[in-house]
Each structure stands twice: as C-alpha cells, then as structure tokens.
Amino acid sequence: MAITNTNAITSDNADVDQILQTVHEEILQYAEKLKQISMYMFENPELAFKEVKAHDCLVEFLIQEGFEVDEHFHLATSFKAIFKHGEGGHTFGLNSELDALPGIGHACGHPLIAVAGVASLLGLRKAMLRYNIAGRIILLGTPAEETGGGKLKLLQANAYEGMDVCMMVHPGQSQVGQASISPTLAVQSFEVEFHGVSTENHYCCKQIFDLQRIRNLHMQLVPLGMVSMR
C-alpha cells in the first residue's frame, strides 16, 4: 500500500494500514544496523547481570538516535529509553532481553528480542511524529532473564510503573513473516498470615473445614481480587 501526501495524514484521519506501513518502512531503514547489533550480541554472549557489551552497544545506539536514556536503570546492565510526543496519550512499554545461557550462548534468541524492542521503538517514534500521535514509548533493557530474575527485580523497583501495556517479541517456530500475539502467565509469590479464633468443641469441625479450604488454594489459579481476607 503506497502512501502519498503523508504530511496531510494525522492521527485523526490515518487508518491502521497507513500507520503500520510507516512503522514497517522505518524499521527497514535501520535493518542493516539492527542486524549488526544482533550479530554483535550473538558473537559476544554474556551471562546474567554481566551483559556489559550488549548493554553498552544498545545504549550507545539509542543515545545516537536521540532518545532520552537512563543508562543504568536500577541494575548495572539495565537501561531505560524514552520517546515522548505531545501531551497525554498512553504509555507503551517494550522489553529487550540481553543475557545468554551457560554453554549454549544465545540459543534462546535474545539478540533478536533485543533488536526487536529497539526496532519497535524506532518504528513507533516515526509513526507518532508523522501522524501526531500523543503518548510515550518506554524501552527497558532487561538483564538476567534466564537466571537471576532480572524483570522481577525491575518490577520490585517499580520500573514498570505508569505503563498502560508492556510487550515483548520472542522468536519461535513459524514461517518467515508470521507472528502471533498471545498473553503469557505472570507468577508472583507472597506470604499470607492467618489469625484464627478460639472455638467450642462442637464448632471445631467448621474451623478445620475452613483451614482445609485455605490450604487448597495453593492448588488453584486464583485471579487477582478473587480472595478477600481480613
């Protein structure tokens, strides 16, 4: 689909196909550089929390591109790059994973994940500027995905605070040019302390039953807000 007279197109009259084409064309403009970054990471695998080369390479590129970058965002090898346009709008988050696996390097495809995050940031920036779309894009460099819980540490440090949605690209077995969008399961652990009350003998069976119901919760998927405890 060809775009003509793009200066006249705004967020009010642009359709999704036009916006997606702009994103696609912008990413293609950076294809060679993104490939170089990805191959550099692939050839220099680094384990959890030691992703210095990957971190520095990505940060250098993002700064050169004019993004606002927090070079060591809560963790030594994490970073946060921001693009903001206009006032209001939504905040969209992206993740770029950095670490490799012991012995097998980047078998999980993190160089592709990393540059996919950067590519998305570049493409979205172009579309927001061209069509005057207000909002913020935040790209997080997330170390220690394989071991060490890098994203968990960032989550605990409120690194994802303020995002309306956050996504990541992950390679998989599929045809070239095909992709799917699906939710993933997030797991968080917590401790719960229960305070019981004294009861008469003829009510003890009820107390035991209530306790058993509580113990059974660990075998269930409990949606947030389903269980109310005082």
Q: Tens digit of pLDDT for each residue in 51-101?
A: 999 999 999 999 999 999 999 999 999 999 999 999 999 999 999 999 999
Q: How far, rounded to the nearest angstrom, does the alpha carbon of residue 76 sit from its chain's CA centroid?
A: 18
Does any domain span residue 202?
no
Does any domain span residue 123?
yes
Does any domain span residue 79?
yes
Does any domain span residue 140?
yes
Percent of the chain with pLDDT over 70: 76
Sequence letter at residue 168: M
Does any domain span residue 44?
yes
pLDDT of residue 209: 62
Model confidence, pTM = 0.77
Integer CA distances (angstroms), 98 to 5, 33, 37, 42, 170, in order: 40, 17, 12, 10, 12
| CA gap 24, 26 in Å, rounded | 5
Does any domain span residue 13?
yes
Residue ranges making up the domain that contains 125: 6-167
Does any domain span residue 211?
no
Does any domain span residue 133?
yes
Which CATH number belongs to the domain containing residue 123 in this structure? Answer: 3.40.630.10
Q: Which of 78-82, 128-132, 133-137, 209-213 is least confident?
A: 209-213
Sequence-ordered alpha helix ranges (H) in the chain: 16-29, 31-43, 52-64, 110-130, 150-156, 204-216
pLDDT of residue 82: 98
Number of domains in the chain: 1
